[in-house]
Amino acid sequence: MKLFIIDTTAFYKKQLYSRLSKETDIRVLYTGYQCEARNGDFSDAEMDYPHQFLCGNKWQRIWQLYKILRKGDYSELILGGWSGGQDTLYAWFAAFVSPKRKNAVSIESTIKESTIKGPKAWVKKLFLSRMSRTYVCGTSHAALIQALGFKGEIVHTHGVGVFRRVAQPAYQPRVSVQRFLYVGRLIAVKNLQWLIERFNKHPELKLDIVGFGPLEEELKQKANPNISFYGAVKNADLSQYYQQTDVFVLPSLSETWGVVVEEALNNGTPVMLSEQVGCAEDLVNENTGVVFKLTEEDFEMKLAEICQLERYNQMRKYISNMDFKAWEQAKINSYLH
């Protein structure tokens, strides 16, 4: 049995576990609850797999965790990470109670935003010293643990979970590239003020912003009429936004992966990402979109590139033939060994 310990009830994790439970024996322990402001349906997904929520104060939860680990009836313990507020305590406790040969950790941090020198890096190295295997989302995540000196097995999971896959639209060439879309929280790390400044200088283009957050009113005040805000949209309704737009854009200062990038591609939409987005190296190439540095000059160059109609339509055609079902299965297979 594979025993997962995690703090989040995100839909893409639930869907991952549901798929895994159909092909192998798993159990999921939840140490806490998602604390960030999200859409009401962020956690909406069936939990049709064995699971348990630890309850009570932190000491009561540690005791529950200890009793579960003491049984030793699991072949692999997969921890959800090494940080996350109070939930760090449970991960570290489990890492040192469980035998190293059984221990694994899911790495969703990248070398782009993580410290690899100094006291914080030493702490991460200590944690990794208790692991025999790491599950990494992608290239920049593997680079992080390699930089920290991890010598165990590295397994690529091709993402952070299983997104809501839809029947991808058939290829239809566009006659222009004018409409851009952002989907996500309206918080500082998403770099939306910078993005709005870029589109304020392009009144011929339209930027649609889907999401909510503490910066909403401030961002609206800075936006010109070619920028529209749509607030919170149910996950089930996002496909119409992805499919109606020409390009999905994600300008984040830091982004551990980017499930929204997978969703955009699945809906037939080329993407435009900052180089700080965790999935950029794995999901974006000349056939799927462009990656820009966080400078006005490079953004303008990549914007002009993706707006070239012939090149853009070549991207759309390529994306329409991508096998997202196989992509999803590859995520499941990464855990089946």
User: What pLDDT shows up at residue 247?
Assistant: 98
Extract the runs of DSSP E, i.e. beta strands, from 97-234. Answer: 103-107, 133-136, 153-156, 179-183, 206-210, 227-231
pLDDT above 50 for 37: no
pLDDT above 60 for 39: no
Rounded to an integer, the average pLDDT of 99-117 is: 95
d(CA 199, CA 174): 21
CB within 8 Å of 31: residues ≥ 6 apart: 5, 6, 7, 54, 61, 65, 87, 90
Rounded to an integer, the average pLDDT of 99-127 is: 95
pLDDT above 90 for 282: yes
Rounded to an integer, the average pLDDT of 7-34 is: 90
User: What pLDDT shows up at residue 236?
Assistant: 87
* pLDDT, mean over the chain: 94
pLDDT above 70 for 332: yes
Q: Which of 259, 251, 249, 274 is nearest to 8 (CA)?
A: 259
CB within 8 Å of 30: residues ≥ 6 apart: 6, 7, 9, 51, 52, 53, 54
pLDDT above 60 for 326: yes
Record the tokens describing residue 210, joined without a space. 């889907």
Rounded to an integer, the average pLDDT of 150-157 is: 97
Rounded to an integer, the average pLDDT of 291-310 is: 98
pLDDT above 90 for 67: yes
pLDDT above 70 for 84: no
Taking only the tens place, the pLDDT of each residue in 208-266 is: 999 999 999 999 999 999 999 999 999 889 999 999 999 999 999 999 999 999 999 99
Least confident of 87-96, 122-131, 224-233, 274-283: 87-96
User: What pLDDT shows up at residue 288?
Assistant: 98
Rounded to an integer, the average pLDDT of 274-294 is: 98
Identify the band that residue 35 occupies on the pLDDT scale cut at 50, 70 and 90.
very low
Alpha carbon 306 to chain centroid distance?
23
pLDDT above 60 for 91: yes
Sheet holding 179-183, edge to edge: 227-231, 206-210, 179-183, 247-250, 271-274, 289-292
All domains in the chain, ordered by first residue? 2-163+326-333 (3.40.50.2000), 179-321 (3.40.50.2000)
